[in-house]
Amino acid sequence: LTSTSAFIGKSTLQVFSTYGEKGNLFTVVIAPSGSGKTPACHLGCINPIVEHLEPKIEKSIVMDDASSNGLFNHFVSGYTVPVLCIDEAHSFLMKITSLSKSPQANLTLERLCKCFDGDCWYVLKGNKGKRAGIPSARASLLAFTTPKQFLQIVWPKMLSAENGFAERVLLFYHRKEEKDLEVMAQHSGALEDFPIQSLDGVLEQIYAEHNNNPPVKYTLTATAREAFFKFAKPQDHLPNSQGAAIDVEANVNNSKRNKHVLRLALSMHVLYDRLKKALELQKGPTSHIIGLETLNMAIVMVQSLEIYKGISRMVSDTVYMLLVVSGFHS
Backbone φ, ψ for residue 233 (5° rounding)? -60, 145
Distance CA 295, CA 287 (A): 15
HSE-up (13 A, CA, CB side) for residue 301: 21
Distance CA 52, CA 128 (A): 42
Return the HEC string of 237-258.
CEECCCCCEECCCCCCCHHHHH
HSE-up (13 A, CA, CB side) for residue 295: 24
- Asked if pLDDT for residue 152 goes beyond 70, the answer is yes
Distance CA 25, CA 45 (A): 14
Residues in the chain: 330
> Is 10 in a helix, a strand, or coil?
coil
pLDDT value, residue 105: 62
> Is 190 in a helix, a strand, or coil?
helix
Distance CA 86, CA 108 (A): 16
Distance CA 107, CA 101 (A): 8
The string of pLDDT tens digits covering residues 118-132 is 999 998 876 666 888
Backbone φ, ψ for residue 124 (5° rounding)? -90, 130
Within 10 Å of residue 163's Cβ, how many Cβ atoms?
14
Give the H/E segment covering residue 290. strand 289-290
pLDDT value, residue 305: 92
Distance CA 232, CA 254 (A): 7
> Is 67 in a helix, a strand, or coil?
strand
Amino acid sitting at position 144: F
The string of pLDDT tens digits covering residues 156-215 is 989 888 888 999 999 999 888 888 899 989 988 888 888 888 899 999 999 999 998 789
> Is 171 in a helix, a strand, or coil?
strand
DSSP code of residue 62? E
Give the H/E segment covering residue 244. none
Percentage of residues in the chain having pLDDT higher than 90: 55
Amino acid sitting at position 33: S
**Comparing C-alpha atoms, which of 5, 277, 255 is closest to residue 140?**
5
Cβ pair 272, 294 in contact under 8 A: yes
Radius of gyration of the chain (CA): 21
What is the residue-averaged pLDDT of the chain?
A: 86
Residues 54-79, mean pLDDT to the nearest whole number:
86
The string of pLDDT tens digits covering residues 174-183 is 888 888 899 9
DSSP code of residue 330? -
Distance CA 204, CA 196 (A): 13
